């Protein structure tokens, strides 16, 4: 049985800019074979969209939250429709 695929938009709040968040997310997402993107927002938060198996998406969030140099105070997850032709994960 194959794993359920999902796409999540996650907005991270806290001290998440100027600490290497986007490139940490890029490295972890690629290591987990996820597709999507990550970018800084003007209010100081970071927005990430990632797509792949639900267990891989959960691992990404757990790994991001366990990074000692990232200070995530809160995150908000919104499920989105799958983008079937998306390839790769990148920083916007």
Active site residues: 22, 40
Tell me how far apart the alpha carbons of residues 32 and 80 are, in angstroms, rounded to a whole number. 19
Half-sphere CA count of 61, side-chain side, radius 13 A: 22
Tell me how far apart the alpha carbons of residues 14 and 24 are, in angstroms, rounded to a whole number. 16
């Amino acid at each position: 049985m194959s794993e359920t695929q999902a796409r999540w938009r996650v907005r991270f709040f806290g001290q998440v800019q100027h600490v290497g968040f986007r490139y940490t997310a890029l490295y972890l997402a690629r290591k987990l074979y996820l597709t999507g993107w990550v970018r800084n927002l003007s209010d100081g938060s970071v927005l990430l969209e990632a797509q792949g198996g639900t267990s891989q998406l959960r691992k990404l969030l757990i790994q991001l939250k366990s990074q000692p140099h990232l200070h995530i105070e809160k995150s908000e997850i919104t499920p989105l429709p799958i983008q079937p032709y998306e390839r790769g994960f990148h920083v916007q």
